[in-house]
Amino acid sequence: MLQETIARVRAEIEAADLATAEQLDQFRIAYTGRKGQLADLFDQLKTVEPTDRRAVGQELNQLKQLAQARFEERQQQLEAGAANAPADPTFDYTLPPVPQALGTRHPLSLVREEIVRILARIGFNVAEGPEIEDDWHNFTALNFPENHPARDMQDTFFVKSGGADSAEAKAPASYLLRTHTSPVQVRVMQAQQPPIRSIMPGRVYRNEAISARAHMMFHQVEALFIDENVSFADLKQTVYYFVQELFGDDVQVRFRPSFFPFTEPSAEIDITCLICKGAGCNICKGTGWVEIGGAGMVDPAVLEQSGIDPERYSGYAWGMGIERITMLKYQIKDLRLFTENDTRFLRQFESLL
């Protein structure tokens, strides 16, 4: 009698239609679940004659295995199928997509990458250094005299270690937020002998009141080239190439004599005003020229401090403000826009990608 039921249930299990997840679930409830038919049949095993019980028990076990095998196989198929199932046939593919609010590249990043690309084409690699710098790399190794006004609290953010009352905090600070990217020159020269051909983009800090034209945090990129027989002519040629690649062929460059403690001779680099094309306007204060950076031949004393033989090698260095270049390139009138994160401003650079 029980054997008959077993045979019927076996036929049902074998024939069960498990096309959908719902049917599979019903199958589980009906057969293999705790209150399913198989559990019921196991309960009835005690009504079987003791002599037959073993055989019937075996038969039931086989049936249970069959049911479980069918269930598991189909469950795996359904799960695998769900991952690449044909999409919902009622879905309207002509619906416009929900726009994704993707961010855009920051204009300073775009310009920095452009600068890196232009100089990489003529063999410059990128070097980096710390933003919290020591006094030696930021000033001393770059030939700044001990009493140079740039070391003054007016310009430099000094960093004190330890608590406010600690001995370190009371001692003269020897750490600071770097005021320019030139200390990275020193680090590169300490780490490597010529030929050196590196650019060093990065953030710098100066204790300035924030306004349309000044900020306490901005970006520079430095270029350093050291080898045998490097001359000022190499510097000029590289700057000409760079300016024409970045701003276009019709932009002119001029070098104005200047002074930096770590270069000799030194110059400031001006380009023709991009707004008035040299005619004179309020951006260039009527001169037709705007400054983009400083440059010069690395002072032999700086080479020597950094472990490079000034008798054998010479080199040039040049540094520019990335904000300044970005403002000129895209005619941005207020420095504060770069840090305000106003998406109406930032979105305008999307198309430059």
Distance in Å, CB of 135 to ligand PHE, minimum: 15
CB 263 within 8 Å of CB 295: yes
| 281, burial (CB in 10 Å: exposed 0-12, middle 13-18, buried 19+) | middle
CB nearer to ligand PHE: give 202 or 296.
296
CB 151 within 8 Å of CB 143: no
Distance in Å, CB of 244 to ligand PHE, minimum: 20
CB nearer to ligand PHE: give 318 or 338.
318
Helical (H) or strand (E) element with 143 = none
Strands 253-260 and 175-177: unpaired
Q: Which stretches within 28-106 are classed as H helix?
A: 37-44, 50-83
Which residue lies nearest ligand PHE, judged by its C-beta? 319
Distance in Å, CB of 94 to ligand PHE, minimum: 57
CB nearer to ligand PHE: give 223 or 284.
223
Distance in Å, CB of 146 to ligand PHE, minimum: 19
Tell me which residue has tokens 């200047």. Answer: 258
Count, in order, helices (H) and strands (E) of the chain.
13, 10
What is the rounded distance in angstroms from the CA atom of residue 350 to the CA atom of residue 353?
Answer: 6
CB nearer to ligand PHE: give 71 or 260.
260
Helical (H) or strand (E) element with 255 = strand 253-260
Residues that bind ligand PHE (CB under 6 A): 180, 182, 222, 260, 263, 294-296, 317-319
Residues 6+ apart with CB under 8 A from 33: 39
24: which 2 tokens?
A: 């599979």
CB nearer to ligand PHE: give 107 or 294.
294
CA proximity to 235, closest of 261, 249, 253, 259: 253
Q: Which stretches within 134-191 are classed as H helix?
A: 135-138, 167-170, 182-191
CB nearer to ligand PHE: give 111 or 267.
267
2: which 2 tokens?
A: 């029980």
247: which 2 tokens?
A: 């701003």
CB nearer to ligand PHE: give 60 or 290.
290
Distance in Å, CB of 129 to ligand PHE, minimum: 13
CB 225 within 8 Å of CB 316: yes
Exposed e or buried b per residue across 252-270, where buried means at least 16 C-beta atoms within 10 angstroms of its C-beta: bbebeeeebbbbeebbbbb
What is the rounded distance in angstroms from the CA atom of residue 133 to the CA atom of residue 158?
Answer: 10
CB nearer to ligand PHE: give 182 or 314.
182
CB nearer to ligand PHE: give 263 or 272.
263
